[in-house]
Structure 1
Amino acid sequence: MMLANVIFIFMWIFHSWDVGVLCADLPETVLSTEQIHHHIKRFSGLYTGPYFDPATTTNITTQLGTHAYLPCKVKQLGNKSVSWIRRRDAHILTVDRYTFIADDRFQAFLVEATDTWTLQIKYVQARDGGQYECQVSTEPKMSHFITLNVVVPKVEILGEADIYVKAGSTVHLKCVITQSLEEPAYIFWYHDGARVLDYVRTEIDIKTERVGSDTTVGTLTIYEAQRKNSGNFTCQPSNLDSASVLLHVLNGEHPAAMQRGKNSASPIPGRWWGPLSAGLGLSACLRPRTAAAAVLVIGIAGHILFT
């Protein structure tokens, strides 16, 4: 029995990854079973199976339209599998590197250097927000939960929905994007559905500027505006909603005239108003049929007198 213990101890020593440290602790006599277990526990850690790294985050915040990465650090995984599950509908998204949802925006990959299984969600949508479960196939199952917060930036063009300017003036259309964690890759401008591309610098200028930590301003400047510049202008940031305004370039017209248009009702001429109001006043004292006839007669009389 003593010989068997000695052989076991020597085999364990030569297979140890830190022989020097172990040998320094060895007594001259044979180690007991309790001492052997102490050294095994010392070098293998407190966990004998898979466990989640306690430093793994539980909250991820990302912006609408960008890519989200949800990390799950699993130590000593061994031959166990890692699954990602969407909590709102209990849908299994991935198992190891295999995807089990008909949405190619989702995929999982392993970063071996950090023992991290990461769920990637491309082009995040508002409905992707919520809780996700990283599950290890132990018995019972082990789970780590991460909440994804989706920030939706606000896009607007400063000013009224209809902008009126005089011909020959300089127009500045400012597209302001707020609550934006990341600066958009681009801001495209459209005039009546056509992208503003081939423009002369002396007539139109486009600039984009980051203001503060969460705001981007795109400016479209029109020098010496002309009637041809009238129409719908839309700013379209990358992966975000758009905003639009109607620009009216006036050649001396009053804005109210343009707002009324051809289909608006014209005011009643002043010369008609006296006889008509008299007929309407008289009708209040008569029976309905008689009142209608009175209004008609007085109206015709007014027409004859004032034409």
Structure 2
Amino acid sequence: MHTILPPNKLPKNLKPVQVLQAISSSLLTETLFVSVLSGGEAAHAVKRFSGLYTGPYFDDSTATNITTQLGTHAYLPCKVKQLGNKSVSWIRKRDAHILTVDRFTFIADDRFQAFLVESTDTWTLQVKYVQARDAGQYECQVSTEPKMSHFITLHVVVPKIEITGEPDMYVKMGSTVKLRCVITQSLEEPAFIFWYHDGQRVLPIDKSPYDIKAEREGPETTVSTLIIHYTTTEDSGNYTCTPSNLDSSSVLLHVLNGEHPAAMQRGKNSASPIPAWSHLSIGLGLTACTPPRFAIAVALTLAIISEIIAC
């Protein structure tokens, strides 16, 4: 391996032209190292550039678009060759906020961090637990004069979640119920999907009426199914599907013991009109043009008929 020699260490019989050629040849073939010496021995060496130094430049293979899912970690790479003693900064374009300079963070949000992968000369901006507002353009800037910039756009995919069917479900006591929680536009499968009944986690243990099944349907869809066997009135209540790092979805289950759903809805909503009173008001309206006894009789008859039909 050749070493770079200063002019005073070269052979004295060389002509000036030969001295310049020797130094130039050495620069073109050697790799410059910056060493920290401790006790006369090199503690470590960092590769800075190879060949004749011409200044920093961005690698053409550096990505310009990164897509990640809500709640996951995003990694924005910036590959800079021949960086030398220049600094690398990351800047958020929407508010021109300086996020990092080299390995130092300049924002109160500790989700942002920059680190260097020396083997690939890549400065990477890490964004932890990505939020929807993190979407947008980021600038990787090198402290040359004038400044050099490479822009990367971060796209954030927000999965959708729903329990299929109506928000209120009515079933007969003793029947089997299947609640399907469908998660779409999900780039990554959730680490877990929990079900809750009135705030208490549903656990499919031995002798439990519950079964839970989860499966991946396609590249961006996950389905979790809660099965309730031999339902009783105690199974009524709110059921919530909660995946990891995502919003939840709920449904209200009503287990009927010989009751009619319409009657339950009337009892649940005091603002709903009662048919008997509506028919009675019709009868009272007839008193303006008919004898009072006849109008009241008509109203009572209509109210009785409507209650019989409702039951």
TM-score under structure 2 length normalisation: 0.78
Q: Is the contact between residue 275 and residue 299 of structure 1 (CA under 8 Å) also seen in structure 2?
A: no
Q: 1:93 to 1:230 in 2, by over 3 A?
A: same
Provide the rounded CA distance (Å) in 1 between the counterparts of 2:144 and 2:220.
Answer: 43
Residue identity matched to 2:263: A
Counterpart Cα distance in 2 of 1:135 and 1:271: 77
Aligned counterparts, 1:216-231, within 5 A:
216-231=222-237
- Sequence identity (%): 68
- CA displacement at 1:194 relative to structure 2: 1.6
Counterpart residue identity of residue 215, structure 1: T
Q: Deviations over 1:165-212 (max 9, x none)?
A: 111111110100001100010111111112223644551011111111
Structure 1 segment 140-219 matched on structure 2, within 5 A: 140-197=146-203, 199-200=205-206, 202-219=208-225
Tell me the residue number matched to 2:243: 237
| Partner amino acid, structure 1, of 2:18 | V
Match of 1:52 in 2: 58
CA contact (8 A) 2:287 2:295 kept: no
Q: Aligned AA for 2:29?
A: W
Contact 1:188 1:237 (8 Å CA) reproduced: yes
What secondary structure sits across from 1:6 in the alignment? helix
Output one character per residue of 1:26-84: Cα deviation in whole Å (capped at 9) or x when no partner.
xxxxxxxxxxxxxxxxx847x70000001101000000010000000000000100000
Name whichever structure is richer in helix by fraction.
1
Cα distance in 2 between the residues matched to 1:252 and 1:221: 22
**Cα distance 1:211–1:13, how it changes in 2: closer, same or farther (>3 A)?**
same
Gaps of 5+ in 1: 19-42, 283-296
**Residue pair 1:276, 1:299 contacting (<8 A) in 2 also:** no
| Structure with max Cα Rg | 1
Give the counterpart of 2:18 among 6, 15, 28.
6
The alignment status of 1:138 with 2:132, answered yes or no, reads: no
Q: Is the Cα contact below 8 Å between 1:235 and 1:243 reproduced in 2?
A: yes
| Structure 1 vs Structure 2 CA RMSD | 2.7
Correspondence for 1:28: none
Alpha carbons 1:173, 1:221 under 8 Å: kept? yes
Matched, 1:88 2:94: yes
Determine whether 1:112 maps to 2:121: no
Shift of 1:8: 3.1
Contact 1:57 1:71 survives alignment (8 Å):
yes
Q: Tell me the SS of whatever aligns to 2:15.
A: helix
The question of whether the paired residues in 2 share the 8 Å contact of 1:56 and 1:72 is answered with: yes
Residue among 279, 295, 298 paired with 2:292: 298
Match of 1:285 in 2: none
Partner of 2:129: 123
Aligned to 1:61: 67
Normalized per residue, which structure has more strand?
2
CA 250–96 in structure 1, closer or farther in 2 if over 3 Å, else same: same
Stretches of 4+ aligned residues off by more than 4 angstroms:
11-16, 269-275, 299-303
Could you tell me the TM-score, scaled by structure 1's length?
0.79
Q: Equivalent residue of 2:186, what SS?
A: coil
Taking the aligned partners of 1:113 and 1:275, their CA distance within structure 2 comes to 90
Aligned partners of 2:283 and 2:187: how far apart in 1? Answer: 67
Gaps (5+ residues) in structure 2?
Answer: 1-12, 31-49, 301-311
**Residue 11 of structure 1, CA deviation:** 4.5
Partner in structure 2 of residue 26 of structure 1:
none
How far did residue 7 of structure 1 move?
2.8
Question: Paired residue for 1:101?
Answer: 107
Matched pairs, number: 265
Q: Distance in 2 between matches of 1:52 and 1:272?
A: 83
Q: Letter of the 2:229 partner, please give it.
A: Y
Specify the alignment match of 1:250 in structure 2: 256
Q: Distance in 2 between matches of 1:200 and 1:280?
A: 68
